Amino acid sequence: MNFQRIFEPKSMAVIGVSLTNDRHPANVIYNKNLLRYPLKVFPVNPKGGILQGEDVYTQISEIPEKVDLAVVVVRAEQVPDVLDACIQAGAGGAVVISGGFAESGRGDLQDRMVALGREAGFPFIGPNCLGIYSPSYVDTFFLPSERLVQPASGNVAIVSQSGGILVDQMLNFSSEGVGLSLAVSIGNKALIKEVDLLSYFSKDPKTDVIAFYVEGFGKSEGRDFVLAASECPKPVIVMKSGKSPEGGRAVSSHTASLAGDYEVFSQVLSQYGVVEARNQFELVSFCESLGCYRTSVKGRIGIITGSGGHGAMAVDCCYQNGLSVPPIPEDLQEEIRGALSRSVGPIASLGNPIDLTGSAMDDDFVVAAEYLSRAPDIDCVMMLLLPYIPGITSDLGARLSHVVRREGKPLVAYVPHVDKYSMLIEGFELNRVPVSPAIEGAVLMAEAMRRWKPC
Amino acid sequence: MLTQEMKGILAASKKRGWVLEPGAKRLLGLAGLAIPEFKWSTSLDELLNFAQEIGYPVVAKVVSPKVLHKTDSGGVVVGIEDETGLKQAFGKLSAQEGFEGVLVEEMLAGVELIIGAKVDYQFGPVILMGLGGTGVEIYRDTTLRMAPLTRNDVESMIRGLKAHELLEGYRGSEPVSLEELTRMLLAFSGLVMEIEEQFESIDLNPVMCSSDGCVVADARIMLKG
C-alpha cells in the first residue's frame, strides 16, 4: 500500500464536521489544517450548508478533486459506508478517528473496514486514534493547536498505539529538541500495523530513527515485526507497557512460567537488535542520541567534566548500564596536560573521568574533547558541563560540536536545562549533538549506541 | 522432518494433552538429542534385569497419565544402589495413581540445566535455557530467544546466564561441553519448529551437562488442547 498521499497530502476531506459545534473533533481538525497547513481542506457533512463561509459538501464524491486524505469522524456504524464512498471517490487513504469498534465489542464493523481496505488497496489508519502529525503537511489530531507543543520537523518517526502517550512523547521531544519526521497514532491498528509503518519508514529518506510505543502485538505479529526490524538499516526503538506478570494464571510447565509475555518480548527484541526503552526518559534519550549518530559503539566512555562529583556520578551510572570507563594511558594524560591552559594543567585529574576543575575554560574542554576523540580505546566522549563555572561561555556547545564533526567520534553532553543556558544547549542540539538535562540521560544516550546492533 | 514414529507418538498423546516421559524421550532421541538408556515396564523382573545390565546406581520414576509433576508427588527415586533398593522403589511407585509402569535409567552427573520451549502468542515458538533442576523457579536464571536458533543466538544465551561461569568451569571444576550443549539446543530448535502447531510448552528439566556431553534426564511435552 502507498502511504505517500496520506502522509504528505496536498488535499484533505474532513468527513463529519458539525455545523453547530465549533469544538467538535472534526471542526478542530478542519480549522487547524485550514489555518496552519498548506493543504486544501474540504468539509463534509450529509446535511450540507455553510461552515465559516465555506460550502460544506454533502458527500466526498461531490468534492471537485480526488483528495489525498479523508479524515473520518462519524459514528462507528456509518464508518464502513463512508470508507466505501472514499474508495469510490478515489481518495488516497483515510484516518478513522471514530471509536466504537473492536475496543467496544464491534469487531464486525472493523472487519468490514479491513476487508474494504484490503480489497481496494486503500490504506487507513485507526480506527480509534488521533491519526497523523506530519510536520508542514498535515495534523489530524483533534486537539486544539494552542493546547499542544509541537516538536520541530526532524528525523525521528514515532508510532503509538495510544494517542495520549504519543502526545506526551511529542511534548518531551519538543522540550529536548528532538525533531519529528512523522508521528502516527494507530489506535486499533485494524489494517495498518506497526510492521507496515516500519517498512515505510525504513525507506523514508526523512526518517533516521523509528520509535514505537506498543501495548501488545497481535498473534505472531511480534515475529513479523522483529524479523522486519532486523532487516532495517535504521535504529528501531520500542517502549512497551503491560510488563507486569498476569497474576494467578495457572501454567503447567516451568518454561511457561519463566517465559512470561514481557520476558519474551524484551529478550526477543534484543535478539533482533531492536532497542527497548524501558520508560519515557529512555525513549527520548535514545531517540535524541540515535537521531544524531547512526552508529554502534562497544561502550567505552571517556568522561570530561569540571566537577569531580559529576564525574563520579557518571561513572557509577555507566557501570550500572553496562558501559565501561577505561583508564587513560599515562602518556596520553601527559600530552593532554601539556595542551591545557597554564592554570588548569597542573591541577586537572586526567585519569578517566577527566576533571578539568572549576578553573577550566572553553579551550580546555575543547582540547580534552579533541584528545579523547582521537584515543583508540574510547568510542564515545561524555561531556558534563556546568555552565556556572566562570570560564565556560555560551559558545562552548557549538565549538564542541565542531570537534565532533571534525573528529567523527560521538559526543554526548549533560547541561542543566535552565533558560539562561539555552544558547549553550542549542549550540549542541542545532549542530546535532545530543544533550541531556540529567547525567543519567547523557549515560543513556551513550547506552543507546551500545544497545543498537545494526544489521 | 518428523518421522512416522514421531508423528505416532504425538498423535497417541493428543487426547491426554501431554506426552508421557518414555514417549517424550523417544521423540527427543529421534530428533537427535541425547537421552539416557532407559527401560519402561510394569514387570519388576524386567527392570531388575535391565538395572543389572546397565549397572547401579539407577533412577526409578513412575509413569502415569495422572502424574504430571513427578517430583512433587514422590514419583522419582534417585540413587538406587542395588536390587533391594529397586524392589522397594518399585513397590512405592506402583502404588501411585494411574500407575502404568516404572521407568528405570542410569544416574547422570553434571550441571542441571533446563531447556524449554513455548509457543508465544506474539512471537510464536520461543526457546528458553538456564539453570535447571527443582529450584528452577527460585533461581530464575534463564535466557530466551525466538526460534529457530542460530549458533550466535545459542552463544549469547549461554553468555547471558548469571551462572555462565558454572558452565565454563568454575573454581577448578571441568567445564561442560559447550559444543554438545549448542548441538542439543540447535537440534531442539529444529524439533520445536517442526511441531509448532502441536505443542504448547516443553520442559527438558533437568538436562545433565558435563564435559562428556548433555543428556535429557526428564522431559515433559504439553500439547495444544
Which residues on A lie below 8 Å from B126 (Cβ)? Answer: 259, 264, 268
The helix-helix angle for B21-30 and B178-194 (nearest 10°) equals 100
Domain with CATH 3.40.50.720 in chain A: 1-128
Q: What is the mean pLDDT of residues A82-87?
A: 98
- Domain residue spans in chain B? 4-34+109-223, 38-106
CA-wise closest residue to A74 among A54, A44, A112: A44
What is the CATH code for B38-106? 3.30.1490.20
> Residue B200: closest CA among chain A residues belongs to which residue?
A256
Give dist(CA A276, CA A267) in Å, integer: 9
In angstroms, what separates the C-alpha of A279 from chain B's closest C-alpha?
21
| Mean pLDDT value across chain A | 95
The per-residue pLDDT for A454 is 84
Domains B4-34+109-223 and B38-106 share a fold: no
Contact A256 B136 (CB under 8 A): no
* pLDDT band, very low/low/confident/very high, at B210 (cuts 50, 70, 90): very high
Give dist(CA A80, CA A83) in Å, integer: 5
Contact B122 A222 (CB under 8 A): yes
A145 SS3 class: helix
Q: What is the mean pLDDT of residues A151-155?
A: 94
- Range in A126-140, A251-265, A402-416, B33-47 the model is least confident about: A251-265
Contact A258 B220 (CB under 8 A): no
Q: What is the mean pLDDT of residues B103-110?
A: 94
Options 3.40.50.720, 3.30.300.180, 1.10.150.530, 3.40.50.300; CATH for A1-128 is 3.40.50.720
CB-closest option in A220, A252, A263 to B144: A263
Which residues on B lie below 8 Å from A243 (Cβ)? Answer: none
The per-residue pLDDT for B134 is 86
The per-residue pLDDT for B135 is 87
Cβ count within 10 A of residue A321: 16
Residue A387 pLDDT more than 60? yes
Contact A267 B143 (CB under 8 A): yes
What is the CATH code for A295-451? 3.40.50.261
Which residues on B lie below 8 Å from A254 (Cβ)? Answer: 114, 116, 136-137, 203, 205
For chains A and B, CB pairs below 8 A equal: 89
Q: At B8, phi and psi to the nearest 5?
A: -60, -45
Residue B41 pLDDT more than 80? yes
DSSP-H helix ranges across A102-236: 107-120, 163-175, 194-203, 221-231
User: Testing the interface with B: which of A214, A240, A254 to mutate, by most B Cβ within 10 A?
Assistant: A254
pLDDT in tens, B52-76: 999 999 999 999 999 988 888 899 9
User: Testing the interface with B: which of A255, A265, A268 to mutate, by most B Cβ within 10 A?
Assistant: A255
Q: What is the mean pLDDT of residues A48-58?
A: 94
The per-residue pLDDT for A247 is 52
Question: Which triple of cell numbers denotes residue A197?
Answer: 509503518
The per-residue pLDDT for A412 is 98
Q: What is the mean pLDDT of residues A208-236?
A: 96
The per-residue pLDDT for B137 is 87
The per-residue pLDDT for B169 is 84
* Contact status, residue A348 vs residue A340, Cβ threshold 8 Å: yes
Domain with CATH 3.40.50.261 in chain A: 149-292, 295-451
Q: What is the mean pLDDT of residues B206-213?
A: 95
The per-residue pLDDT for A249 is 56
CB-closest option in A258, A261, A271 to B128: A258
Q: At A165, phi and psi to the nearest 5?
A: -60, -35
Give dist(CA A258, CA A192) in Å, integer: 32
* pLDDT band, very low/low/confident/very high, at B174 (cuts 50, 70, 90): confident
A275 SS3 class: strand
The answer to whether A316 contacts chain B (CB < 8 Å) is no
The answer to whether A223 contacts chain B (CB < 8 Å) is yes
Residue B14 pLDDT more than 60? yes
Give dist(CA A234, CA A41) in Å, integer: 34
Cis peptide before A43 (omega within 30 of 0): no
Q: What is the mean pLDDT of residues B16-41?
A: 96
- Range in A248-252, A380-384, B39-43, B106-110 the model is least confident about: A248-252
| Partners of B102 in beta bridges | B41, B62
Give dist(CA A115, CA A427) in Å, integer: 51
pLDDT in tens, A268-309: 999 999 999 999 999 999 999 999 999 999 999 999 999 999
CA-wise closest residue to A29 among A100, A99, A130: A130
The per-residue pLDDT for B73 is 85
The per-residue pLDDT for B79 is 94
Cβ count within 10 A of residue B147: 22
Q: What is the mean pLDDT of residues A240-266?
A: 79
Q: What is the mean pLDDT of residues B20-48?
A: 96
CA-wise closest residue to B208 among B109, B129, B126, B137: B109
CB-closest option in A219, A254, A268 to B121: A219
Which residues on A lie below 8 Å from B120 (Cβ)? Answer: 222, 259, 261, 264
CB-closest option in A217, A254, A271 to B137: A254
Residue by residue, DSSP assigns chain B as ---HHHHHHHHHHTTTTEE-HHHHHHHHHHTT-----EEEES-HHHHHHHHHHH-SSEEEEE--TT-SSTTTTT-EEEEE-SHHHHHHHHHHHTTSTT---EEEEE---SEEEEEEEEEETTTEEEEEEEE-STTHHHH--EEEEESSPPHHHHHHHHHTSTTHHHHTT-TTPPPP-HHHHHHHHHHHHHHHHHTTTTEEEEEEEEEEE-SS-EEE--EEEEEP-
Could you report the predicted ipTM of this complex, rounded to two decimals? 0.92
Residue A435 pLDDT more than 70? yes
* pLDDT band, very low/low/confident/very high, at A246 (cuts 50, 70, 90): low
| Mean pLDDT value across chain B | 95
Question: Which triple of cell numbers denotes residue A398?
Answer: 557549538
Residue A107 pLDDT more than 60? yes
Residue A252 pLDDT more than 80? no
CA-wise closest residue to A47 among A83, A20, A11: A20
CATH level 3 topology of B4-34+109-223: D-amino Acid Aminotransferase; Chain A, domain 1 (3.30.470)
Contact A258 B136 (CB under 8 A): yes
The per-residue pLDDT for A250 is 60
Give dist(CA A162, CA A323) in Å, integer: 32
Which amino acid is residue B90, in one-letter code? Answer: F
What is the CATH code for A149-292? 3.40.50.261
The answer to whether B216 contacts chain A (CB < 8 Å) is no
